[in-house]
Amino acid sequence: MIRRRLLPYVVVAALALPVVAQAATWGWLGVRIRDLSEQEMEEISTRHGIREGFGALIVEVLKDTPAARAGLKNGDLVVAFRDRLVVDTRGLQRLVAATPAGQEVVVTVLRREEGRRALRVSVEAMPQEMVAERVAAEFGFVVRDPGEERERPRPSGTPAVAVVLRDSQADRAGLKPGDVIVEVNGRPVLSRQAVTDALVGAGLDQPLRLTVRREGEPLALTVSPPSQRIP
């Protein structure tokens, strides 16, 4: 039996984007995905005769997206993309992100009652807000809006760090939840949109230079690129 560490889809969906591609050009389907549980692996392997640990499970198809227009459904198991086998969520996201916007591709899925289906999908460019979220996640942190803070709301419109993933590059650099972001790569950011624009322009093959405010004091941090993560 194949065993692997499982992550919630909200985290998995934000990982493993290709560092070779510019963030602003990533392709996008408009689905939320996760890896299969061990029980699901066994069940699907028995039903469809495939090896365990194969594919990426769609848990949500977002409205008015390439995936929705192509007929992809919640519960579909993506097993191939552009004739390339999909082993897990990481593999699928790399394939999708590296696909140019406007290109039509074949996505092969296993559907519970219908078996194997091949659907044609026109890939679109990933929305800028989502690009920014995923760039941040690649470095190992999540940004929240000021309005999402309940315990210590701030008058400033500048977002703060909500989550720092354990053992990520952001964690190693010393970034902490609650840090208020004031500069990204030397660029002042005074709003959520400014943070978004700065992150979209950041390269995943270069260090991310952040200036944050922690307990009222400025602090400069340099986050190493995701390509330098220890396997």
Q: For residue 36, is pLDDT > 60? A: yes
Structure tokens belonging to residue 4? 């692997």
DSSP state of 150: S
Q: Is residue 17, in this structure, part of any structural domain at all?
A: yes
Query: 82, 103, 125: which is the final residue of a domain?
Result: 125
135 and 162 share a domain? yes
* Sign of the dihedral defined by the CA atoms of residues 79, 81, 87, 90, in that order: negative
pTM: 0.70
Mean pLDDT of the region 158-178: 93
Distances (CA, A) of 74 to 9, 60, 71, 163, 176: 13, 5, 10, 28, 35
Query: 62, 93, 125: which is the final residue of a domain?
Result: 125
pLDDT per residue as tens digits for the range 126-166: 998 888 888 898 899 999 866 555 455 454 567 899 999 99
Q: Is residue 4, in this structure, part of any structural domain at all?
A: no
- Percent pLDDT > 70 in the chain is 79
Structure tokens belonging to residue 175? 């970034």
Instruction: Identify which has the larger pLDDT, 49 or 188.
Output: 188
- Which residue range forms the structural domain that includes residue 75? 9-125
Residues 14 and 34: beta-carbon distance below 8 Å: no
Q: Is residue 120, in this structure, part of any structural domain at all?
A: yes
Give the CA-trace dihedral at 188, 199, 209, 20, to 10 degrees. -150
Q: Is residue 3, in this structure, part of any structural domain at all?
A: no
Instruction: Identify which has the larger pLDDT, 173 or 24.
Output: 173
> Cα–Cα–Cα angle for 139, 3, 19, nearest 5°?
25
Report d(CA 172, CA 140) in Å as an integer.
9
Say which CATH number the domain at 20 has. Answer: 2.30.42.10
Q: Is residue 133, in this structure, part of any structural domain at all?
A: yes
Query: 71, 97, 125: which is the final residue of a domain?
Result: 125
